[in-house]
Structure formats: C-alpha cells, structure tokens
Copies of this chain bind each other. A is one copy, B any other.
Amino acid sequence: MAAVRVGVIGVGMIGQDHIRRLTRVLAGSEVMAVTDSDLARAKSVADSLPAARMHTTGQDLIRDSSVDAVVVASWGASHEEYVLACIAAGKPVFCEKPLATTQEACLRILEAEVAFGRRLVQVGFMRRYDPAYVALKQTLSSGAIGAPLMMHCAHRNPSVPAHYTSDMAITDTTVHEIDVVRWLLDDEIMATSVLTPRRNRRAGELRDPLFVLLEMASGALVDVEVSVNIDYGYDIRGEVVGESGVATLAESNVITVKRSGSFMGHVPVDWRERFIAAYDAEFRAWLDSVEAGVPTGPSTWDGYAAAAVCDAALAALREGRRQLVALQKRPSFYD
C-alpha cells in the first residue's frame, strides 16, 4: 500500500498531537502539508517534519495536489468552511469535534456531502474506538442482556481550567456521552432535561455537578452524571440496563496494590491516560478507511445530531425544563 498523504489544518495542541500520531505512532501515512491561523507556528511545525510544506490558508492546503486527505483541528468556528471545502474538493476529511458550531452549519455540510454523493467526513468522536465501549456494543448486539432499557453514565473530571463554563459541561463534556449512547444503543435522542444537584463547593461559580437525562426514540432512558471537579480522578462510567442483564464498563487499572489496610487500583488522572489508545485506534481506522475509500466512523449525521442535542440540553439547562430534540429526517445516505 502507499502511504496516505495527509494535510493538517490547525497545529495547536490537538493538531500537533495528531501529527505526532501520524508520524511517530501509526504506520501508513505521511504529513505533506500544515497550516494554522498562527503562521509562525505552522512554519515551525512544517520545518520539524521531513516532507511537510506550510500553506498560508486552509483552502490552499485543501487544494494541494500532494494532499490526499485532510485533518481539521483548527478552532470550532472554522470547521464548517474547511469541511465544505474538502467536500468540494472530493477529499476525505477527519474533523475534530464539533463538526460545526451550529445545527444549521452541520446541516449545510450534510447537504453538501449528500449532493457530492458519497461519504467523505469523519467526526472525531473517539470513544467509539475505545476497547471497553466496543465490547459494550458487542454485548448489546449479541442479545446477551436483552433490549436496552436504560443506561447510567458518569463523566467525571478531577478539575477543569478557569475558562470552563457551565455550557461547556454540555458542549465539551456531555457531548461525548451524547454521541456514544446514540452509537451504543443505535438510537436517536428525542428529548433532554438537565437537573442541577447540590453544588460542589470545589466548583466555584460553575453549575457542577449536572445530571442530564436523555430520552431515546425507543423509549430507553439515559442518565448522565457530569462532575467536573471531583478531584479523585478522570472516571468515565457506563452501565447499560437490559431486559435480563446489565453490562458495565470495568475499572481500567492494570495492577492492584495492597498496603496500609486497603487494596487499591489506580484511577486515570486525565482523558489522555484513559483514551490515548482510542485516539490511536480512531486514526488507524480513519487511515484504513481512506485507503479503502469507504468511510466507517462517526458521520456528518452524527455530528449534526450531537449539535442538535447539545442545543436542546443548553436550553434545558437555561430554562430548567425538558426540551424536545427536533431532528431533520435522516437521509438514507447515512444508513
């Protein structure tokens, strides 16, 4: 096979991590071009790579004939423009979440992709590549616990940076559960409510924790505890309740230590420790799909649905009551 020749738009922390992944971790790709709103940074990154040139705009990079496929890791507001340009150029694009910052922008991308006639877009919902979630989905598919009726989730961060807002608890944090439960349960979210339990004094002015309810089209009910100042670690919990059994994400510790009156297992300190292998697997799958010409990962539709549910959840948080999620009809294109 020939290496997939990749261009990277946006070389901040996330973009550079993807470049490291493409050049130092995974076989099968070559980074041919980079760009960034900070051109000095783009130049510095390009210089560090054996084959990469710098472009002054994302549009130029997308047009570059040495670029087969594009990674969009720039700030969210620019995603729509770059993804649309990739579709126009007929080039596969991996777009970090969010696909776009509004439902309307997501729908414009969706229309463009449908008009183009085949899938080009993968959205960066990496949890679908985590071995534990994959095993959970296999168990559900096997019928081992019957039809899913409920799912209990918890998304816990030890702390968040100063610029983190209560809205980000929905759009940056809960959004991972929003995508992963749609995928696990193979179901759409039709309504959402957000409850605000007793406030954590460690959380300052933030509404923390939140308790988000997601009502699926099938009637299945998902609850998500969102605790972003819980100190003890980065802990992602999930339990699907079926008709005749339950399936639960296990602890991720690799050893157990007994000392001082306790047995103990390690809890991850951050998302990187917990999901680094999922990011690698996500890019492995994307490169393979580019090579094969058949996209398989989270689609434009998934990006749109996540945006629509986040909008509803933000309204639910603001207004203190249940909100319906009004999705467009799904084009058969995405079945």
Using a CB–CB cutoff of 8 Å, the interface residues on chain A facing chain B are: 1-2, 22-28, 50, 131-132, 135-136, 139, 144-150, 152, 154, 195, 197-202, 209, 211, 213, 216, 218-221, 223, 225, 227, 229-233, 235, 241, 243-267, 269, 277
Q: Cβ of A132: which chain B residues have Cβ within 8 Å of it? A: 254-255
Q: Point out the residue from B201, B230, B247, B264 that lies within 8 Å of A147, measured CB to CB.
A: B201
Nearest Cβ distance between residue A99 and chain B, in whole angstroms?
A: 27
Q: Point out the residue from B135, B195, B255 that lies within 8 Å of A135, measured CB to CB.
A: B255
Oligomer: number of copies: 4
Closest B-chain residue to A211, C-beta based? B221
Q: Cβ of A265: which chain B residues have Cβ within 8 Å of it? A: 250, 262-263
Q: Cβ of A213: which chain B residues have Cβ within 8 Å of it? A: 195
Query: In the complex, A265→B149 CA distance in Å?
Result: 22
Q: Point out the residue from B147, B201, B266, B277 that lies within 8 Å of A198, measured CB to CB.
A: B147
- The answer to whether B139 touches A257 (Cβ under 8 A) is yes
Q: For the A-B complex with A149-B198, A152-B225, A197-B219 known, give 15 more contacts whose Cβ atoms are closer than 8 Å.
A: A22-B27, A24-B27, A24-B28, A135-B266, A148-B198, A198-B220, A209-B241, A231-B245, A232-B244, A245-B258, A246-B258, A251-B263, A261-B266, A261-B267, A263-B265
Q: Cβ of A220: which chain B residues have Cβ within 8 Å of it? A: 197-198
Query: In the complex, A1→B190 CA distance in Å?
Result: 50
Nearest Cβ distance between residue A73 and chain B, in whole angstroms?
A: 18
Nearest Cβ distance between residue A150 and chain B, in whole angstroms?
A: 5
Query: In the complex, A169→B144 CA distance in Å?
Result: 26
- The answer to whether B250 touches A233 (Cβ under 8 A) is no
